Amino acid sequence: MKVVVKKFGGTSVASLNLMRNVALRVERALKEGERVVLVLSAMGNTTDRLIEMAREVSVSPVPRELDMLLSTGEIVSVALMSMILNRMGIKACSMTGGYHAGIITDDNYTRARIKYIEADRLKELLEEGVVPVVAGFQGVNENGDITTLGRGGSDTTAVALAVALNADRCEIYTDVNGVYAADPRVVPDAVRIPVISYDEMMEMAVLGARVLQYRCVDLARRYNVELIVKSSFYEDGGTVIKEVDDMMERSEVRAVTHNEDVAKVVIKDVPDRPGMAARIFRKLGDKGIPIDMIIQGVTKGDRSDVAFIVSRSDLQSVLDVADEVVKEVGAAGVSYNMDIAKVSLVGANITSDPSMPGKMFSVLAENGINIDMIATSGLRISCIVERKHINDAVRALYRAFNVYETGNE
Amino acid sequence: MKVVVKKFGGTSVASLNLMRNVALRVERALKEGERVVLVLSAMGNTTDRLIEMAREVSVSPVPRELDMLLSTGEIVSVALMSMILNRMGIKACSMTGGYHAGIITDDNYTRARIKYIEADRLKELLEEGVVPVVAGFQGVNENGDITTLGRGGSDTTAVALAVALNADRCEIYTDVNGVYAADPRVVPDAVRIPVISYDEMMEMAVLGARVLQYRCVDLARRYNVELIVKSSFYEDGGTVIKEVDDMMERSEVRAVTHNEDVAKVVIKDVPDRPGMAARIFRKLGDKGIPIDMIIQGVTKGDRSDVAFIVSRSDLQSVLDVADEVVKEVGAAGVSYNMDIAKVSLVGANITSDPSMPGKMFSVLAENGINIDMIATSGLRISCIVERKHINDAVRALYRAFNVYETGNE
């Protein structure tokens, strides 16, 4: 018998009526012979409301207490959903992520990582034909305190349970009907990608595609869990994320992604001595701030500029660290620019085709778009452009690389 | 060092501002050298809102799921309160009733009873100078599932923790400033009772004084925990509930209580054979319906009426059972009357003074109030009167028995 983990996000359970729709979907799946494990997020904007209350009482709430508070949102969802299912005659049992579903995490409150899962009770329930309804986003540490898994945590819960239960697949239901080859708000006729590899999906997540978090795809990849992203409001569509065998020699552009949540920071006139860059980026790394696209400028005499891209939400922390660094290494100062955005081409082996980068830069140039910084990896080519040009850049690249053809394979 | 359990009800933590007031109270107590354990209810009408949602998805929600749902209300309170305390520089730690505070209950969801408390973690926290902030109203059964303790459950949590921690006293903060000798809405100058015995307080709880549940006072009595009821909005006042030594020969009226949540049920023309009454009341007992003031009427031939008083909320269930009984025993039928109310005098040894009942009945008669039924116990004399006369009855009795003098001792 097939075991399928189905995860529904906040917009899919935002009201009792929407919850009833989810329950009907579960009913259909059971009739088709699936054994279903449900994972739910908190209803609608519940988590935001709770965070707001916490901020109202404390500028920096104790992380343990914040997790205790936030965990309640998902518990409300699973208790109500279990009532709905039972009312329909479907045996269901709500479960907190930690004590009941057995998700044991480390001690990093607000961004805990799963250490292991004690899935005995889940397995028993499945054996008995009961639908476990598991609160996503949460676990419990070995001290018995409630933790939360951070952004996209419920997706991670779903994939981790799929691993622990050796499930046939993990379905992520959300408010979009899969992964698109470009943001449909920018490219209205952007095609849905029916199948994509883990690696490509991870690259897209890093580059700003919001549909799945990197971490969740990474986990699925490592344990080879077939992931499906689909809309909770439509039957058809969706994107399958799995190991794609035939991509070894393929070098197509699968998607054009863009991200406006970026800022550029420049540390000016850094003395050109060994270890200077290490000093800067170790400090930022210690604070857990992810850095993208580091460029050390052309040396002017014995000094050079160091520029890099960070997320806008991290900018203040980065500037604080940068100020320290300036003093320590004797640089001239720090500047930043928020008036930028990042556009990327994503595809397996994309940089193994030597014509790709040149073609990308030409397309942007032809459209009068200046490139400020460039970064490449095996799976992507990214350019920093002026913010006001970002939508034009996405559209021009989408057309020029015929993404709709490769997407619709 | 003194250990004090302080419980704050829903109206005392209905907003973040009110929560800050509670935190200030805790701060003062700590400065005065107390070791504080906080027990909180859900904020304001949270529990009602959750119940409403549950009713919306199911007429009779699965009790296990209902408890899972309701438990979240108190968790939100304790997490926020702990943040507030920590922000003030007071070390505090929020705790769920079950997993963290160690309250282990039986399996009776929605009205679980506490079996024992594993208080090790609470004791450790107190040793370390941390304020445990415990979610009231909830526990966990031996299967690891969340249970709730039913009406007045948070008070029970507080008293039970006081027992487990061998606390010096248990303070119940609420929206009234103690226990009054009559309902101040009926008798505006009713006096506050400074000290009252457990037995008297239990009798008052049974008779409809809402300030404390019978169960919580009973628990305090059995373990000799000194209880204090006071307002969370004022400093002074309050009522101490404890073993009162000097009451052996005292026979004063401590309070006049009344209750409008009553209905009278009459089973008519019950055959006058042994075991008939047992048959009726065993059935009601099996359904957990409490009965008050049973009266078997004067026999007419070989048949007699059986009348008794129940709570209005139980009336429908009682009538269902009564209909069955009528058929089984061959009675003539069932009638009921909701147009009644109960007024009672409460005081230790009250019925040992032979003049008391007569005086009570005279006072009512002098005020033109008919008595429908009478019941007495060692601690009370109750009369059923017409509903429209209940306020007059309370006022007349309050004046006639000089309750203000005994109250204000």
Q: What pLDDT score does A208 carry?
A: 74
Query: Average pLDDT in the B81-95 region?
Result: 98
Q: Looking at B294-303, B312-321, B373-382, which range is the least confident one?
A: B294-303
pLDDT tens-digit map of B42-71: 999 999 999 999 999 998 899 999 999 999
pLDDT tens-digit map of B71-81: 999 999 999 99
The beta-carbon neighbor of B84 closest among A16, A57, A94 is A57
More confident residue, A291 or B262: B262
When pLDDT is cut at 50, 70 and 90, the band that residue B250 belongs to is low
The beta-carbon neighbor of A76 closest among B69, B87, B99 is B69
How many Å apart are CA B270 and CA B286, to the nearest integer? Answer: 20
Query: Average pLDDT in the B376-382 region?
Result: 85
Question: For testing the chain B interface, which of A16, A19, A83, A104 should be mutated: the one with the most B CBs within 10 Å?
Answer: A83
The beta-carbon neighbor of B80 closest among A69, A71, A82 is A69
Flag whether pLDDT at B196 surpasses 80. Answer: yes
How many CB pairs below 8 A link A and B? 112
Report pTM.
0.85
B161 touches B39 (CB < 8 A): yes
The beta-carbon neighbor of B16 closest among A53, A78, A87 is A53
Phi, psi of A187 (to 5 degrees): -120, 90
Q: What pLDDT score does B135 carry?
A: 98
Query: Average pLDDT in the B372-400 region?
Result: 91
Class of domain B342-407: alpha beta
**Chain B residue with minimal CA distance to A73?**
B72
The beta-carbon neighbor of B79 closest among A69, A86, A94 is A69
Q: What pLDDT score does A407 carry?
A: 44
A403 CB-side CA count, 13 A: 29
Which ipTM value was assigned to this complex?
A: 0.83
Give the type of residue at B191. Answer: V
Phi, psi of A35 (to 5 degrees): -100, 120
SS3 B343: strand
CATH code for the structural domain at A3-175: 3.40.1160.10
Q: Taking the domains of chain A in order of start, what are their residue ranges?
A: 3-175, 255-259+340-407, 266-337
A79:B58 CB<8 A: no
How many Å apart are CA B370 and CA B389, to the nearest integer? Answer: 9
The beta-carbon neighbor of B16 closest among A56, A64, A80 is A56
Question: For testing the chain A interface, which of B46, B55, B66, B76 should be mutated: the one with the most A CBs within 10 Å?
Answer: B76
What fold characterizes domain A266-337? VC0802-like (3.30.2130)
Select from B130, B33, B66, B143 the least CA-distant residue to B99: B143
Q: In sequence order, which ranges of A236-347 are alpha helices (DSSP H)?
A: 276-286, 315-329
DSSP string covering B148-160: E--TTHHHHHHHH
When pLDDT is cut at 50, 70 and 90, the band that residue B270 belongs to is confident
**Chain A residue with minimal CA distance to B133?**
A65
Q: What pLDDT score does B407 carry?
A: 44
At the second CATH level, the architecture of A255-259+340-407 is: 2-Layer Sandwich (3.30)
Q: What pLDDT score does B408 carry?
A: 43
Q: What pLDDT score does A409 carry?
A: 42
A69:B57 CB<8 A: no
Flag whether pLDDT at B114 surpasses 50. Answer: yes
Interface of B with A (CB under 8 A): 16, 19-20, 50, 53-54, 56-59, 61-62, 64-66, 68-69, 71-72, 75-76, 78-80, 82-84, 86-87, 93-94, 96, 99-100, 144-146
Residue B33 DSSP label: T
**B262-337: CATH superfamily:** VC0802-like (3.30.2130.10)
Write out residues in chain A with pLDDT < 50, as ranges: 407-409
Q: How far from B230 is each of B35, B154, B179, B234, CA to CA, in Å?
A: 19, 15, 8, 8
Question: For testing the chain A interface, which of B20, B65, B78, B122 should be mutated: the one with the most A CBs within 10 Å?
Answer: B65
How many Å apart are CA B241 and CA B239, to the nearest integer? Answer: 6
How many Å apart are CA A174 and CA A162, to the nearest integer? Answer: 18
A57:B86 CB<8 A: no
**Measured between beta carbons, which residues in chain A are less than 8 angstroms from residue B86?**
58, 61-62, 65
Task: Tell me whether domains A255-259+340-407 and A266-337 share a fold.
Answer: no
How many Å apart are CA B1 and CA B14, to the nearest integer? Answer: 31
